[in-house]
Amino acid sequence: MTIHKEGYKIIAWSTLLFGAVNILSFYIFSFYTPWISWLIFVVTLVLLFFTISFFRIPKRKYTIDGNAIVAPADGKIVAIEEIQADEYFADRRLQVSIFMSPLDVHVNRNPVGGEVIYSKYQPGKYLVAWHPKSSTDNERHTTVYKSNEKEILVKQVAGALAKRIVNYLQQGQAVDQAGEMGFIKFGSRVDVVMPLNVRLNVKIGDSARGGVTVLATW
C-alpha cells in the first residue's frame, strides 16, 4: 500500500496537530487526571490513522479488457437506471451510480482506455451524495471517453463532506484503462453513463473496486 499525493499535505498537518494536542494534553492532565490524557491520545490516534487510510492506494491487479467498462471508483452500487442524458449526450442512456463512503479508497480510475473527448468542471451544491439531484445540482466534473468508436461519460460528484474534486485529464489526452482519472476528498459519488445496449455485470447493492470490478461489457 502507498499514500496518494493528494494526502501528503493533509497528513503532514494532521501529524503535527496530533503531536501538539497530545503534548499539551500531557502537560495539563497527566498529573491529576492521566485517564483524560490517554483518552485524548487514543481518539486523536484513531483520527490520524483514519486520515492516513483515506489516502491509501492498495496494491491491486487491475482489469485490462477492451470489451469491459470497469468501475471508476470504490464503493456501493446505489443506482442503475435509464436516464435522459442532460450533458454532452442528448439521448437515453444507462446510468450506474457508485456511492463512495469516507472509508472507501478515493482514487478515481479510467473505466476504459482511449481518448478524452470532453472534460468540464461545474460548480454546484453539496447535497448528500445519495440524493437524487446530486448528479445534476452538486459540484461535479464530467469526463467523456471515446474507446473503439464508443463513448461513455463519467461524472465525479461532490457530496456533503467532499469539498474538492480533482481531475487530472484534459480533452484530447490518450489514457489507459484503470489509470488515474482523479481524486475526490471525503465522501462522494461517481456516475457512469453508458449506451443502453451494454451488458450489465452488476446489480444494486454490489460493492465495486475501482479499476477492477467490471460494470458492463460492450
Cell of 169: 485529464
Annotated catalytic residue 188: yes
| Exposed / middle / buried, residue 40 (Cβ in 10 Å: 0-12, 13-18, 19+) | middle
Collapsing DSSP states into helix, strand and coil, what is residue 99?
strand
Catalytic site residue from 97, 134, 188, 207 = 188
| d(C-alpha 162, C-alpha 202), whole Å | 26
| Exposed / middle / buried, residue 2 (Cβ in 10 Å: 0-12, 13-18, 19+) | exposed
| d(C-alpha 111, C-alpha 210), whole Å | 8
Which residues are marked as active site?
188
